[in-house]
Amino acid sequence: MMRSIKTISAKKSCAAATKVLQDSSVHVMSAAELHQDMHAFAAQLAGDPQAATTFLQNAGILASNGKLAKAYR
């Protein structure tokens, strides 16, 4: 069975992207803020093995069975 791919015009795509940007705000972190945030996240993962495993699975480094993904063997 073939799947159909829905295409939209560039104008519609741009309008949709503009709406998303208008409806949300983004905070761009400075290098110092990013550094601090990364250290806090690393500390959080170090204290919670289940969270660390979930993070590595979401990143594709670990397979769902907890072993290294094929790309990293």
Which tens digit of pLDDT belongs to each residue from 2-32? 444 445 555 555 555 555 556 667 788 899 9
pLDDT of residue 28: 87
**17 contacts 8 by C-beta, under 8 angstroms:** no
Q: What is the pTM of this model?
A: 0.56
